[in-house]
Chain A
């Protein structure tokens, strides 16, 4: 089958600064692709381009073989779930309100919405009795689970995760890693995950895409990148993080 998302020669600059330069990227279905690289290398920019928060200067993007354009973007957004670092939960809505928002605005029946939320609570291991709480009344890990539920509410074909676990303590993070992996496997979910953390990439990703200064330097499995670095930068990146782990 063809890839769910394709980027062809995508470039984006802000004022004088190049954020993304001539990027080609394909997201295979039912696979977790991990974008990794140093801070400021353009990872978030790629996600923001895909959901149309910003427009590319050059290149073409396709979603399920159809071009992504300003005409198609609203309907595409409903087929994409997006989770950002701090969750982006609306503070004036309860957990339930946040998760149900999209479905309610699309006039889904109350019964249907309720059933779906119960299903998602089970899937993400979010205690149903906390659904009436507001975001400020939840822990960081609980908030991320709610964000994930909100992103999954309409059963999106693509899940975009921008450093969703960065601010969490290691134990909570490990739990979420395990749960996310299980969820994605069960739903055969196509995922693009952004992270700084090589260990996280190794644990979750089937394909790892390493970026530097707006360009894709190398992509492949964890073992390929570790054993056959394409440039000295790749080797350096691996050594720095894995060296840190070993010492």
Chain B
């Protein structure tokens, strides 16, 4: 079992050298640009894979530096503000600074997707608001801002300081959900990208940045210097070919067809749907990856957790420490744990990272149940085993573990079910699985796509429950299952 888990990890970790991995952030335009890059690379004869919708800027940047991905679309403003932390750096400054880190940058693609604040047209007109500075007279307006915008160095805090805006009426909202809130009137102002298709769809107004707060956000591709020359050439051919209107149209196409591939094909002029993957094929890909993630992490957790549980059952300082540490791991928010692992050299953006994170989460139930199952064995039974002259190893294998089997199996089952649920988050670092449709559906506000991930995930959890009820019959000795 141990060996097969390691082999599994090794096999997913080995990358192919003649191919490139393209990452994208968790919003429509980034998906579309990455998809355009993928198709361009493919046409240039380079095998390209698109890891969709991976967390935020930091995760992608670290992945790029670590080699987990080779290429991803980024914006000059984000590079200066967030990555290099050099406010107002020129394009040459940026180029030089990136160079030192082994990263290259293409010329811009032809549009500036700056941050903007948007409102419903009707409400803005009623209050006479045209620019951001007009907001100062209306502290009653409710702001629904994305978490990234709230935290950015060029985001909400400096913006509100610059314009002297009240900070009381602000909530953090996911991007696509924010639009829904804006349309339904639950919030009045939200952050957006100036090429966002939803601006036209919902007939929103973009408030003028009258004091020029927002830096330029020109779209570029970042790539590792050691990326194949053919791929870099393909990227360079894309520069200067997309203006704001075209980008907005591509974004709209992606949201209309619910397919980034279709939008990217609109760019390259192909209209055939031949590249689109059938639903059953996609489902199979998601489910098998999902099972791989949950299964490999569970196998690791059993191999590591059982011995730890045995040690923990003996109590003392070591036992207490084991239980405390596994308990603390459990309390780390899963997104934070992923973000912590991604910058670590060995991990990066990979299936490996997702498996390790899931493994860490599934330790506690197994360790705790193993320890308590062993501790619950009555004194007469323990002493009988000792007095029969069994060695410590024989006692553990022949007597104690079988007696604790019900509790141990219950722990493994808990871990397995939790794993199926938590594995949906693996998509945030591009590790795939059923989280992929959930996240992209959330992003497109597309319930059908969300359900394509959520329903199989729920069914899998149910199936795992049933499978374990069956395993109970195999692993729990019959003598412990008979009711007296």
Contacts and interface: CB of A to CB of B under 8 A. Distances in A.
A94 B380 CA distance: 18
Nearest to B390: A105
A77 B479 contact: no
B205 to A, nearest CB: 73
Contacts of A135: 479
A84 B380 contact: yes
A53 B480 CA distance: 26
Contacts of B311: none
A77 B380 contact: no
A45 to B, nearest CB: 13
Given A88-B383, A92-B479, A105-B398, A77 B403 contact: no
Given A92-B402, A105-B398, A77 B389 contact: yes
Nearest to A150: B388
Contacts of A38: none
Contacts of A51: 386-387
A101 B387 contact: no
Interface string B376-399: 000011011111111100100011
Contacts of B384: 82, 84, 88-90
B388 A53 contact: no
A200 interface: no
Interface string A67-109: 0000000110110101011101111111000000110010000
Contact of B479 (A74, A82, A105, A136): A136
A64 interface: no
A90 B388 CA distance: 12
Interface string A145-159: 000001000000000
A32 B482 CA distance: 38
A137 interface: yes
B477 interface: yes
A134 B482 contact: yes
A93 B394 CA distance: 14
A91 B479 contact: yes
B288 to A, nearest CB: 37
B214 to A, nearest CB: 69
A101 B380 contact: no
Contacts of A53: 383, 386-387
Interface in B5-52: none
Given A74-B391, A105-B398, A90 B482 contact: no
B422 to A, nearest CB: 33
A43 to B, nearest CB: 15
Interface in B281-323: none
Contacts of B385: 90
A48 B385 CA distance: 13
A190 B338 CA distance: 67
A91 B402 CA distance: 10
20 contacts: A48-B383, A53-B383, A77-B386, A77-B387, A77-B388, A80-B387, A82-B388, A84-B380, A84-B383, A86-B380, A88-B381, A90-B399, A92-B402, A92-B477, A94-B479, A101-B390, A105-B390, A136-B484, A137-B482, A150-B388
Given A88-B381, A102-B390, A136-B483, 7 more contacts: A48-B383, A77-B386, A89-B384, A101-B398, A102-B389, A105-B394, A105-B398
Top 8 A-B pairs ranked by shortest CB distance? A88-B384, A134-B479, A92-B477, A77-B389, A136-B484, A78-B389, A82-B387, A88-B380
